[in-house]
């Protein structure tokens, strides 16, 4: 089973402040329970081919950065949750005037197991949008 999700939000920060929040280090400041373990580079600096993990047990997930284009407000990750699914995560940020940023978040998910099929089947487009719609509030509370 394969499914693509996409949703757009607006963050009340200029692009230069908003874009870094969508890196693994940046998400540490606003994503609840986000505790990456950085393997390469150990500093957690975002770069192409960086490697880090999140989660544990069946939800242990391995990540790498496929595309890092901060000058374009674009980052693309590959994530593998071996017990369940793979996904490509694409984040594109565009300025909206001087004080806001439009963020488009896309997930291309592919099930690897029955658990992955169940996970994808249980997430509607509306569920995905609701999850992403929480991000501006979480960011606002953190910054």
Phi, psi of 135 (to 5 degrees): -60, -45
Single pTM value for the model: 0.96
Residue 121 binned pLDDT confidence (cut-offs 50, 70, 90):
very high
Say what the pLDDT of residue 47 is: 98
* Helix H or strand E encompassing 131: helix 125-133
For residue range 62-119, what is the model confidence (pLDDT) as tens digits?
A: 999 999 999 999 999 999 999 999 999 999 999 999 999 999 999 999 999 999 999 9
Say what the pLDDT of residue 44 is: 97
The full set of domains in the chain, from first to last, is: 2-142 (3.30.530.20)
Q: What is the mean pLDDT of the chain?
A: 98
């Amino acid at each position: 089973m394969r499914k693509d999700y996409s949703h757009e939000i607006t963050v009340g920060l200029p692009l230069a402040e908003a874009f870094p929040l969508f890196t693994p280090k940046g998400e540490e400041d606003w994503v609840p329970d986000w505790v990456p373990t950085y393997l390469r580079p150990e500093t957690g600096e975002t770069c192409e081919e960086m490697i880090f993990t999140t989660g544990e047990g069946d939800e242990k997930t391995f990540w790498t950065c496929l595309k890092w284009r901060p000058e374009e407000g674009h980052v693309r990750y590959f994530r593998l949750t071996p017990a369940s699914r793979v996904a490509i995560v694409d984040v594109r940020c565009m300025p909206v005037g001087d004080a806001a940023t439009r963020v488009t978040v896309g997930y291309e998910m592919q099930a690897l197991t029955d658990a992955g099929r169940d996970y994808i089947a249980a997430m509607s487009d509306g569920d995905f949008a609701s999850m992403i719609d929480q991000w501006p509030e979480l960011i606002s509370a953190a910054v």
